[in-house]
Structure 1
Amino acid sequence: MERIELQYPAKERLADKALAGVVGSGDMEALFEPTSDDVLSVIIKTSVDGHKQQWMHLFERLSMQRALPSGRLEINDFGATPGVVRLRIEQVFEEANHA
């Protein structure tokens, strides 16, 4: 298990907490909780060691395509594919925006 912590400037506020995915499914879950500061703190717990650079690149690409929300994003990954990772992150932000 590897724990990765990342921080990114945030420019958006979302309404509420949200959850997307289920870690027990062999996939991943993303939990989001809004905060009042201007930072998105990302905590990743993954069963796949040695992929910090890939996670950093994912969030850098995401931040170029959309405004990141302020809050705490906790990701519990059990070896999800890159497509599923992106999907779960988008889902949790969408759910938090419409809560």
Structure 2
Amino acid sequence: MADTRFSELMGLIKAIQASSGQTVLNEIEGVQRSFGVVKRNYDELINAILAFQDEKEIPRLWPQQSRDVRHEAMDVVVTRLQNFLAAAFSLVDHVRRHRKHL
């Protein structure tokens, strides 16, 4: 009895996994993961930019003798911008590929 029930459940699971609905769900989940990467990169970029507006950071970043510190902070912003743009373009490509299947 238990073996029969288990076999029935396994058959249902396989049928669900093979269904077109499951394929669509998998496509949506893939796009959601890509969007999550874009969102995290966006948040990191905004935080790096906001560091330049933080009144507590201004004395540390802007004096002439702090040039190296300022350049390091700018490098962080550039890196975060590059990460965000790469993730955004990847998301566009990802959506284009998945759109063909939806």
TM-score band w.r.t. shorter chain:
under 0.3
| Bigger proportion of residues as helix | 2
| Bigger proportion of residues as strand | 1
Bigger Cα Rg: 2
